[in-house]
A and B are shown apart, each in its own frame.
Chain A
Amino acid sequence: MSKPKLATIWLDGCSGCHMSFLDMDELILEVAERADLVYGPLVDAKEFPEGVDVTLVEGAVGSSEDLRKVREVRERTRVLVAFGDCAVTGNVPSLRNPIGPRAVLETVYLEKPTHNAQIPSQLVPELLEEDLPVHAWVPVDVYLTGCPPSAARIYECVKRLLDGEAPETVSEAVAWKFG
């Protein structure tokens, strides 16, 4: 029998949630043993695979590329976990929402730089009007709050999902606080 497929993905966030994931220490070996880590910043895979059982999505959806990815992830994943506050609420990246993307780009690329000030337009994905939580775009099965969620709660969440527990009860079991 093949092992369940686990993936992680990093959208508009600081990667802190992934750091916390690594913080699991030796428990990560148990996770590695129980599941195939098929995609993520920690894995060398170009394409998000089909038929993933559990995906942890870190970060909010802030750009057209984030949106493309999260839709693809949703299509190819059975249980999608909004991983950390940015994915759950928008958190820090969403601080830009009250002023809009234009003002952010102008400040960062036009006002601050000392030379060659210009707003990048090639190869860089376009910013969306608002930086929004994952569930604003695609259905989410489990919400794992925290900035970042502790390694213990990440482990708890992943373990329960790999055990085949229903997403709703997992959500309840790992519920904690924002921040």
Chain B
Amino acid sequence: MSAAAPAGAQPPRASANVCQAASCLAMGSAQVCRALEAEVAAAGLDDVAVRRVGCLGLCAAGPLVEVPEQGRIFERVLPGDPSSREGLLASLKGEARGGRPVASDPFFSRQVKVVLERCGTVDPENIDDYLATGGYEALAKVAGSMSPDEVTSEVVKSGLRGRGGAGYPTGLKWRTVAKEAGAAGKFVVCNADEGDPGAFMDRSVMESSPHQVLEGMAIAGYAVGANRGYVYVRAEYPLAAERLALAIRQAERRGYLGARVAGTRFSFHVELRMGAGAYVCGEETALIASIQGERGTPRPRPPYPAASGLWGCPTLINNVETFANVPSIIVRGGEWFASIGTERSKGTKVFSLAGAVKNTGVVEVPMGLTLREIVFDIGGGLAPGRRFKAVQTGGPAGGCLPEELLDMPVDYESLTQAGSMMGSGGMIVMDDTTCMVDVAKFFMDFCRQESCGKCVPCRVGTHEMWRLLDRMTRGVASRWDLEQLESLAGMVRAMSLCGLGQGAPSPVFSTLRYFRDEYVAHIDEHVCPAGSCHMGTAEPAAAGVSPA
């Protein structure tokens, strides 16, 4: 148990679970923890435990503290402000006062937690917490009593699809890798390079329940016949990396990783690899190059990593959230998992809800919930006086969905059909003060800067599209520029080598599809309907080639 827990077998009467994930830590939750310990001691509450846990979900309102016995979560428990802890302390004493009620507040009650099951309940730095909640049971069961094929079959039955972007059926991918001979060995890679602007779900999972990800990887290793795994974490996530490293050491010491996993003949070694700040290294072939110590640029597929990945060996690459789903699937069965969600999108999806909503944070919902339920029920809607305009999903390769589509179910197919995509789970809500041309420009600027430069359609095309969008937001663009933008968008999508270039035009396409009038207003009337662009800057002498 955690350091602050009372000694002996006696469970605490009440506990203060203090979030120790990055957002809350940035708001001083480490100090909050110490202050609470002192205050609890000073108040003589020796049957109260102050515990360090992972993400409690409402990331923008941190530091967050939950008192599970009272079913309440307290927001903005600030280190320097003892008054912000009054309700909390009362709660710990047994009074139901203050905070947000977990059982009835839709932010919490509408969520279904599979991946985030342990986020905010276990101490991410303590393997005993993980074990106490059934952790590594799945791995022990798999390695001890199931054949690799049975494991894969269970995953196939679950209908789990990749959570890193494209939604490729996970069981199918495992089966492909399992079938490869792999005379020189096979690898399992966890893609933790989460780089979409506005996405922070994978970080939350790694910071809150690192063992769950490792367990998923080890199960995958067993299923596909791999004995080595890598977690590729972006360098901007030092805390996640630190907790994963600690978790690996703990799991090795307890015999859940390394040689003879859970006392069986199966061995599985995991190492961490840090990214170096390139978004494109989230693309699987670039990621492989990067792990091999080469320049992180994508290469054409096929061959897919499943056939030829790390050092030419069959390699299974899955996303953090994909792996984090696996232990539950093994313990509760594929059928259980498949009973959640929709016909073709099973299970839940974790989103990082951000932008103009009241409740910003990490949420997990069953597939098929509507955008409206996510934005308005769970997200709590927009600030008073603000009107919903669009929700952006899928990151730089996704799109902006308008109000008319709010009742659309959130699943892979619906999102793609609407011109966006599931992506890794970033969800940015925009209100009427956001200009959609400017949003398209933002994402294009991102892609232009993150393009690896290998292929010319992406390297030059994203730059040119950004230039045209920039002209539009300055009120100096013509209809010719709009035509050029559309023509470039089509070419870049079709010609680029990897998903970065192929996806880069998506925000342009989706904003043109649903908000064309805003483009037209910028061009024909030199007006930004959202009032966010500074229009009419005098055109510097011939800044662009635009024949009248």
Contact = CB atoms under 8 A, between A and B. Distances in A.
Contacts of A133: 545
B268 to A, nearest CB: 55
A31 B331 CA distance: 89
Query: Contact size class for B?
Result: under 10
Interface in A119-150: 128-130, 132-133, 135-140
B541 interface: yes
B548 A136 contact: no
B471 to A, nearest CB: 14
B484 to A, nearest CB: 13
B547 A132 contact: no
Contacts of B547: 135-136, 138-140
Contacts of A132: 542, 545
A130 B546 CA distance: 15
B542 A129 contact: yes
Contacts of A128: 541-542
Contacts, number: 23
A136 B541 contact: no
B293 interface: no
B103 to A, nearest CB: 65
Contact of A135 (B540, B541, B545): B545
A128 B539 CA distance: 13
Contacts of A139: 547-548
A136 B541 CA distance: 11
Nearest to B548: A139
Residue among B540, B542, B544, B546 with the highest chain A CB neighbour number at 10 A: B542
Q: Shortest 6 CB-CB distances between A and B: which pairs?
A: A136-B545, A129-B541, A139-B547, A135-B547, A132-B542, A128-B541
Query: Contact size class for A?
Result: 10 to 19
Interface in B513-548: 540-542, 544-548
Interface in B386-431: none
Interface string A99-134: 000000000000000000000000000001110110
23 contacts: A128-B541, A128-B542, A129-B540, A129-B541, A129-B542, A130-B541, A130-B542, A132-B542, A132-B545, A133-B545, A135-B545, A135-B547, A136-B542, A136-B544, A136-B545, A136-B546, A136-B547, A137-B542, A138-B547, A138-B548, A139-B547, A139-B548, A140-B547
Contacts of A129: 540-542
B353 to A, nearest CB: 45
Contacts of B542: 128-130, 132, 136-137
Contacts of B540: 129
A3 to B, nearest CB: 29
A137 B541 CA distance: 10
A158 to B, nearest CB: 22
Nearest to A140: B547
A106 to B, nearest CB: 19
B194 to A, nearest CB: 38
Nearest to B545: A136
A137 B546 CA distance: 7
A126 to B, nearest CB: 10
A57 B506 CA distance: 40
A30 B495 CA distance: 48
Contacts of A138: 547-548
Contacts of B548: 138-139
Interface in B271-290: none
B168 to A, nearest CB: 45
Contacts of A137: 542
Nearest to B541: A129
A135 B545 CA distance: 7
B540 to A, nearest CB: 7
A133 B548 CA distance: 14
Nearest to A74: B548
Nearest to A134: B547
A132 B546 CA distance: 12
A129 B539 CA distance: 12
A133 B544 CA distance: 11
B147 to A, nearest CB: 65
Nearest to A137: B542
B193 to A, nearest CB: 36
Interface string A46-74: 00000000000000000000000000000
Given A136-B547, A137-B542, 19 more contacts: A128-B541, A128-B542, A129-B540, A129-B541, A129-B542, A130-B541, A130-B542, A132-B545, A133-B545, A135-B545, A135-B547, A136-B542, A136-B544, A136-B545, A136-B546, A138-B547, A138-B548, A139-B548, A140-B547
A130 B545 CA distance: 12
A133 B547 CA distance: 11
A139 B542 CA distance: 14
Contacts of B544: 136
Contacts of A140: 547
Contacts of B546: 136
Contacts of A130: 541-542
Contacts of B541: 128-130
A129 B542 CA distance: 8
A129 B545 CA distance: 14
Nearest to A132: B542
B492 to A, nearest CB: 23
Nearest to A129: B541
A141 B113 CA distance: 64
Nearest to B544: A136
B172 to A, nearest CB: 50
A135 B542 CA distance: 11
A139 B545 CA distance: 10
Interface in B199-229: none
A73 B547 CA distance: 15
